[in-house]
Amino acid sequence: MIEFTQTDAPRDAMVLFFGVGVDGFGSVGYYYWEEENDFIRYAVPVDAKEPTDSDITIKGWVRTIRKQKTLAFAQVNDGSNLGGIQCVLNFDQLDEASQAAIDQVTTGCAVQITGPLVPSQGGQQAVEVAAKTLRVVGLCPADTYPLAKKRHSLEYLRSIAHLRPRTNTIAAVARVRSQLAAAIHSFFQSQNFVYVQTPLITASDCEGAGELFRVTTLDLEQELPRLNNTDRTVDYSQDFFGKPAFLTVSGQLGGETHACALGDIYTFGPTFRAENSQTTRHLAEFHMVEPEMAFADLQTAMENAEQLLKYTVSHVLKNCQEDLTFFSSFYDKELLDRLQKLVDQPFARVSYREAIAYLQEEIAKDPSKWQYPHVEFGTDLATEHERWLAETKFESCVFVYNYPAAIKAFYMRANDEDNGETVNAMDLLVPGVGELVGGSQREERLDVLEQKLRDNNLNLDDYWWYLDLRRYGSVPHAGYGLGFERLVQYVTGIENIREAIAFPRYPGNAEF
C-alpha cells in the first residue's frame, strides 16, 4: 500500500529512484510535481506485514465492504498487489465526517483512509488498518456497477475492458506484463543493445504476406481517384503520403538499418496484422520485441533468444511471486514448475527435416487424433504440431531451424548447402503456446536478395533503401521477433491471448 508524505525538495529534484534488484529494476518510490500544492509528492511502498507506530494513508478502491452495527470492514486495493489490505472502520474511533461517509462506501468506490497498521484479529492477514479518518473520493453506485462481488467470465470482462483491470486476473496480468517489459529492456541494455523506435506507418510489407491494414486519408464515402487504366486502380498519388501506406507488420526492416550502423539494436513496439483469425493465439494489434545483431548468424540469434527468455522468466519468478501463485491456483497448476524448468533446462534444437520425420512417425500411429495429419517437407507446422514437439517429444522449449524457403519470408538467408531449398531460419516452440519466437539470418547478398524479391512478386523499387544496405558495407546479420503478448500468455498460463493485452483487437472488435 502507499503512504504519501510531503517534502521540501526543489523542483529540479524530480527524479525516479530504482532499487537494487536482480536486474536493476524494482521501484522504491516516485517523485513527481504536485502543481496545486507546490510540493513534491513522494509515494512510499509500505510493507504491510508489521504494525506501525505512525499513521499511514492509503488511497484505493473498495473490493468488498461488510457493515455491522458499530463496525465496518473494507478490503481496499490500490493496484500494487493482489490482495489489498483490510481496513477496520470502528465508528467510535472515527470523526463525524468519517462516520457519515461510511454510508457512501460501496464496492468499487474510491476511498482515502488514514490510520496505523495494527495486528489483525483475523487469520487471513498479518496486519490491518485501524482507520481514524475516511474520505470517499469517488462514489460507485452499487445498483449499476458491472463488477459486483462475484466471479465473472473472462469473455464477459472483455465487454467491459475499461473496468476489467479492477479484477484480480487482469490486474495480475498487468503487473506481470509490466515486469516482463522492464526485464526485456534491462536485458538488452545490459548487453549494450541500442533501443530503436521504428515507424508504425510504412510502405513496405516485411513479411510479404499481404496481411496489411491500409492507412489513407482519402474519403471512402466519395468516388475515389483512379488511374487511367482498365482495372480502376486507386490513384494513391493523391493520398496523404503520395503512395500506398500501411500499418507495419514488423519493425525488422527498419531495425536492420540501425544494426548495420550501430551493431546490436532492438525494437519493442506495436505491430499489426489484418489476419482474419479468431484463435486464442492471434491478435490484430500486438507488440513485438525485435533485436537485430550485426556480424551475427542464426546460432547467435538462437543463443540470444534463449538468454532473453531465461532472464525475463527468472525476473518475474522473483518479482511477481504473489501474482504467479494466483495464476497457478486458478489457471495453470503446473505453471510455476514449467517456468522454473524453462530457466533451468537448456533449450532443445532440431532441424525442420528431423521435426517432420518425428511428426510423421507419431501421426502414423493414429492419424485420427490429429486435425492436420498430412505432414511432409514444405508443410507449415500447425499449432498442434508445434505443441506436440515442445510438450511431448522434447518436453522443453525447442528451436526448429532450417525451414523450407517456400514457406518463409523473402529476407531470410538461403542455405548454400542445399542450393537454397531451405533458409537459415528458426522458430522457438514452447509448451502451452507453440511458436513464441521466429528469427533468421538475413540475406546479405544483394543479387540473391533481389532475386528473392522478384520470386515473391515484390516491387524492387519499394525496397530500394533496404537493398542499399546490401550495396554499401553489407555484413552478415541476424535477428528474431518475440511476440510479447504470447510471452505474457505463456508466463501467466492464461488460455486466451485476449487477456494478455489491455484492449484486444481482433476481427469484429475495436471497442474502446
Distance of CA 88 to the CA centre of its chain: 37
Residue 187 has pLDDT above 90, yes or no: yes
Lowest-confidence range among 276-285, 384-393, 442-451?
276-285
Question: Which pLDDT score, from 0 to 100, does residue 177 have?
Answer: 98
Tell me the CA end-to-end span of the chain in Å, nearest whole number: 29
Query: Judging by beta carbons within 10 Å of its beta carbon (0-12, 13-18, 19+), is residue 324 exposed, middle or buried?
Result: buried
For residue 173, the surrounding DSSP H or E stretch is: helix 168-190
Question: Which pLDDT score, from 0 to 100, does residue 50 have?
Answer: 85
Lowest-confidence range among 39-48, 155-164, 390-399, 487-496?
39-48
Question: Which pLDDT score, from 0 to 100, does residue 97 have?
Answer: 95
CB neighbourhood size of 14 (10 A): 12
Domain boundaries defined on the chain: 2-138, 166-212+249-499
* C-alpha gyration radius of the chain: 27
Distance CA 436, CA 462 (A): 30
463-499 confidence digits (pLDDT tens): 999 999 999 999 999 999 999 999 999 999 999 999 9
DSSP states along 185-237: HHHHHHTTPEE-PPPSEES--SSSS----EE--S-TTSPPPB-SSTT--B-GG
Lowest-confidence range among 3-12, 118-127, 147-156?
3-12
Beta strands 194-195 and 264-272 are parallel
134-145 confidence digits (pLDDT tens): 999 999 999 999
Residue 406 has pLDDT above 80, yes or no: yes
Q: Which amino acid is at 279?
A: T
C-alpha grid cell, residue 46: 509500505
| Residue matched to cell numbers 510540493 | 39
Q: Is 351 helix (H, G, I), strand (E, B) or coil?
A: strand
Question: Which pLDDT score, from 0 to 100, does residue 20 have?
Answer: 30
Beta strands 422-430 and 398-404 are antiparallel
Question: Which pLDDT score, from 0 to 100, does residue 22 have?
Answer: 32
Question: What integer is the mean pLDDT of 153-160?
Answer: 96
Lowest-confidence range among 78-87, 258-267, 342-351?
78-87
Q: Which of 125, 43, 116 is nearest to 82 (CA)?
A: 125
pLDDT band at residue 230 under the 50/70/90 scheme: confident
- Could you say which of 2.40.50.140, 3.30.1330.40, 2.60.40.1180, 3.30.70.2660 is the CATH number of the domain covering 2-138? 2.40.50.140
The CA distances from residue 29 to 15, 32, 125, 179, 302, in Å, are: 10, 10, 24, 16, 37
CATH topology of domain 166-212+249-499: BirA Bifunctional Protein; domain 2 (3.30.930)
Q: Which of 193, 194, 195, 182 is nearest to 25 (CA)?
A: 182
Distance CA 471, CA 352 (A): 32
